[in-house]
């Protein structure tokens, strides 16, 4: 059994920033499922949206965020996060993150869709790598923080594992998590006064995603099984421009490339975005992704083109060195030829419902970053607002944790993980078959364009996958791939259920049966597992 004051699940921007902010007050254990830098954070390209320039303003950033969110942002949350952004950016720089400058002390600011001004602070096109590097270096040097790599959190520990009665007020409490150590195959309880869920996104619930392989929605599924409250899960953001290439594995071509003037062209080479929105290539992402989807359906093509040839090779090489080199490695010279692109699953706007201090509906459980839903993004996230949210809310959550942790006592012991009745699976290949089937059904029926018939079909088929996988899970010796499959199925179920409840089109959720927003549908779709026993 491992005991700490603070257990952090995940080592991206949210988890690391939180850990560094609480580490002076108590012991911190970070568990992370692969190498510590492996996270969505590490692949962030465009940057961090912060209003810092003289012509820009906090009010303008708030306005753009609310406009992208299509009526579902929480205005107080938007205002607070955007207002606190500059201070958190300064803190990140003090922690050693270096951002691109166009003169000493003067940040170079990029532009992305939906932003009225250039306000994206970046490290060329590898912003996330720089943020992760700086935070990880400080984390590793901290005497109070221990990082355990290849440690996969399986489930949150709540009363229902202890088989004790609920608290009088019937609120669920989290005492830590059961964690699978991949080195020795053991499952150990990690107990803590406060648990921070910072497990990131869930792009792999779809066939094509910009997310790295760790993004399998584990935190969402764990919190669902623990009966946390969720909201906005119907809003999955598809990034318009992922590379279409058999070896490219949905590699992202940053929106900042369009911010610098690149254009979108149909398979025949015609510029089409001006027909869809006056903001053209820099319209919010939901509009651009749907326009591309529409062009592909009309022409029967498997991709459209991104034309960056007007930017010139010198500029592309210096502003987007990583993207330029990566395209070259696939035989595409962006300076001379169009890049084939398709939309791909990119960011989950919904998540574990929290307040501005990361507090979930479960006592002792905080959540922050992509796994959480504060209400900043509403029905569609404005580009580069997620790293901003991660650094601001993790700081507030740390203050919250420091306030509450001394009044929460750590459990002394919990039951060992129950392995009884499990054996080596006879046909491990069934895991990848079911995963592939799930990703296809989510892509076909719960993608950029949805309908009642599609969602119904998705629900029916995912139910069968759920039943098969649960049976497999009960009988099999634990493996990461099996846990991930189980989690992806839970997340798919939550997305489908939330999507079915929203009978309108709004932001990223487009229903062909209800193509317009419905004025009275501004309420959140809030989801909670109805009991520990059922789906």
Residue 12 binds which entry of ligand SIN, ligand FAD, none, CB below 5-8 Å type-dependent: ligand FAD
Q: Which two tokens stand for residue 313?
A: 């090779």
Q: Report the nearest approach of ligand SIN to the CB of residue 44 (Å).
A: 7
Judged by CB under 6 A, which stretch of 226-234, 261-269, 273-281, 367-375 contacts ligand FAD?
367-375
User: Could you tell me which of 276, 312, 282, 318 has the C-alpha nearest to residue 295?
Assistant: 276
The interface with ligand SIN within residues 258-277 (CB under 6 A) comprises none
Q: Report the nearest approach of ligand FAD to the CB of residue 394 (Å).
A: 8
Distance CA(55)–CA(532), nearest Å, equals 53
Q: Which two tokens stand for residue 451?
A: 């309908």
Decide: is 390 part of the binding site for ligand FAD (CB under 6 A): yes
Q: Which residues of 463-499 are buried (b: 16+ CB within 10 A; e: fewer)?
A: eebbebbeebbeebebbbebbbbbbbbbbbbbbbbbb
For ligand FAD, give the closer residue by CB, 95 or 457.
95
Q: Do the strands 351-353 and 230-231 form a parallel or antiparallel pair, or are they unpaired?
A: antiparallel
For ligand FAD, give the closer residue by CB, 236 or 455.
236
Judged by CB under 6 A, which stretch of 100-108, 214-222, 304-312, 520-528 contacts ligand FAD?
214-222
For ligand SIN, give the closer residue by CB, 29 or 100.
100
Q: How many residues bind ligand SIN (CB under 6 A)?
A: 9
Give the helix/strand (H/E) hosting 103: strand 101-103
- According to DSSP, the residues that pair with 187 across neighbouring strands are 180
The interface with ligand SIN within residues 12-71 (CB under 6 A) comprises 45-46
Residue 285 among the catalytic residues: yes
φ/ψ of 34, rounded to 5, equals: -130, -145
Decide: is 33 part of the binding site for ligand FAD (CB under 6 A): yes
For residue 240, the SS3 value is strand
Residue 255 binds which entry of ligand FAD, ligand SIN, none, CB below 5-8 Å type-dependent: ligand SIN
Pick from 31, 68, 107, 256 the residue near ligand SIN by CB under 6 A.
256
Phi-psi region of 481 (alpha: psi -120 to 50; beta: other; left: phi over 0): alpha
Between CA 151 and CA 442, with CA 125 as vertex, the angle to 5 degrees is 55
Pick from 123, 254, 380, 400 the residue near ligand SIN by CB under 6 A.
254
Decide: is 255 part of the binding site for ligand SIN (CB under 6 A): yes
Catalytic residue among 129, 231, 258, 285: 285
The interface with ligand SIN within residues 168-227 (CB under 6 A) comprises none
Cα separations (Å) of 247 from 326, 338, 505? 11, 17, 34
Decide: is 378 part of the binding site for ligand SIN (CB under 6 A): no
For residue 126, the SS3 value is coil
Decide: is 189 part of the binding site for ligand FAD (CB under 6 A): no
Between CA 23 and CA 141, with CA 201 as vertex, the angle to 5 degrees is 25
Beta strands in 149-198 (DSSP E): 151-158, 174-181, 186-197
149 close to 32: Cβ distance less than 8 angstroms: yes
Decide: is 46 part of the binding site for ligand FAD (CB under 6 A): yes
User: Could you tell me which of 107, 91, 120 has the C-alpha nearest to residue 13?
Assistant: 91
For ligand SIN, give the closer residue by CB, 92 or 153.
92
Residue 447 binds which entry of ligand SIN, ligand FAD, none, CB below 5-8 Å type-dependent: none
What is the SS3 assignment for 335-353?
CCCCEEEEEEEEEECCEEE
Render 425-459 in DSSP notation, one character per residue: -S-THHHHHHHHHHHHHHHHHSSSSB-HHHHHHHH
The interface with ligand FAD within residues 110-129 (CB under 6 A) comprises 127-128
Pick from 353, 361, 384, 476 the residue near ligand SIN by CB under 6 A.
384
Q: Which two tokens stand for residue 531?
A: 């009991």
For ligand SIN, give the closer residue by CB, 145 or 262.
262
Distance CA(492)–CA(309), nearest Å, equals 39
For ligand SIN, give the closer residue by CB, 254 or 469.
254
Judged by CB under 6 A, which stretch of 10-18, 30-38, 379-387, 412-420 contacts ligand SIN?
379-387
Judged by CB under 6 A, which stretch of 50-58, 187-195, 358-366, 368-376 contacts ligand FAD?
368-376
Residue 17 binds which entry of ligand SIN, ligand FAD, none, CB below 5-8 Å type-dependent: none
Q: Report the nearest approach of ligand SIN to the CB of residue 384 (Å).
A: 4
Decide: is 292 part of the binding site for ligand SIN (CB under 6 A): no
For ligand FAD, give the closer residue by CB, 218 or 355.
218
What residues are annotated to the active site? 285
Which residues contact ligand FAD by CB under 6 A? Answer: 9-15, 31-34, 38-41, 43-48, 127-128, 152-153, 198-201, 210-211, 214, 218-219, 252, 347, 369-371, 384-387, 390
Which residues contact ligand SIN by CB under 6 A? Answer: 45-46, 254-256, 347, 383-384, 386
């Amino acid at each position: 059994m491992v005991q700490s004051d603070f257990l952090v699940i995940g080592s991206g921007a949210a988890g690391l920033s939180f850990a560094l902010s609480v580490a002076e007050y108590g012991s911190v254990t970070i568990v992370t499922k692969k190498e510590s830098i492996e996270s969505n954070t590490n692949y962030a390209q465009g940057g961090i949206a912060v209003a810092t320039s003289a012509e820009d303003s906090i009010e303008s950033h708030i306005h753009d965020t609310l406009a992208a969110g299509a009526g579902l942002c929480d205005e107080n949350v938007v205002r607070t996060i955007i207002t606190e952004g500059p201070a958190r950016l300064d803190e990140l720089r003090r922690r050693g993150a270096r951002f691109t400058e166009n003169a000493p002390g003067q940040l170079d600011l990029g532009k992305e869709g939906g932003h009225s001004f250039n306000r994206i602070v970046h490290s060329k096109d590898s912003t996330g790598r720089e943020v992760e590097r700086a935070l990880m270096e400080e984390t590793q040097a901290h005497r109070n923080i221990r990082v355990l790599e290849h440690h996969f959190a399986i489930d949150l520990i709540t009363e229902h594992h202890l088989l004790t009665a609920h608290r009088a007020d019937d609120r669920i409490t989290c005492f830590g998590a059961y964690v699978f150590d991949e080195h020795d195959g053991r499952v150990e309880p990690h107990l803590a006064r406060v648990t921070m869920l910072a497990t990131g996104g869930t792009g792999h619930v779809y066939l094509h995603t910009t997310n790295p392989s760790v993004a399998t929605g584990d935190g969402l599924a764990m919190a669902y099984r623990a009966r946390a409250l969720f909201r906005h899960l119907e809003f999955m953001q598809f990034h318009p421009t992922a590379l279409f290439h058999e070896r490219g594995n949905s590699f992202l071509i940053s929106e900042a490339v369009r911010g610098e003037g690149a254009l979108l062209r149909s398979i025949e080479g015609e510029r089409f975005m001006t027909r869809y929105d006056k903001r053209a290539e820099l319209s919010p992402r939901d509009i651009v992704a749907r326009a591309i989807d529409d062009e592909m359906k009309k022409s029967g093509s498997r991709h459209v083109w991104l034309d960056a040839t007007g930017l010139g090779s010198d500029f592309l090489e210096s502003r987007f060195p990583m993207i330029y080199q990566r395209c070259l490695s696939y035989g595409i010279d962006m300076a001379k030829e169009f890049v084939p692109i398709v939309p791909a699953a990119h960011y989950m706007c919904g998540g574990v419902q929290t307040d501005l201090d990361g507090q979930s509906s479960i006592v002792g459980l905080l959540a922050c970053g992509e796994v959480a839903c504060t209400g900043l993004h509403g029905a569609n996230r404005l580009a580069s607002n997620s790293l901003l949210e991660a650094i601001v809310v993790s700081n507030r959550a740390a203050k919250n944790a420091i306030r509450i942790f001394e009044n929460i006592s750590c459990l002394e012991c919990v039951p060992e993980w129950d392995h009884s009745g499990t054996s080596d699976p006879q046909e491990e290949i069934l895991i990848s078959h079911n995963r592939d089937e799930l990703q296809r059904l989510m892509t076909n029926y719960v993608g950029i364009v949805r309908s009642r018939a599609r969602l119904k079909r998705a629900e029916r088929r995912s139910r069968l996958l759920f039943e098969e996988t649960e049976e497999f899970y009960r009988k099999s010796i634990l493996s990461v791939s099996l846990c991930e499959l189980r989690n992806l199925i839970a997340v798919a179920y939550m997305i489908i259920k939330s999507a079915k409840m929203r009978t309108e089109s709004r932001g990223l959720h487009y229903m062909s049966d209800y193509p317009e927003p419905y004025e009275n549908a501004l309420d959140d779709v809030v989801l909670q597992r109805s009991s520990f026993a059922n789906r």
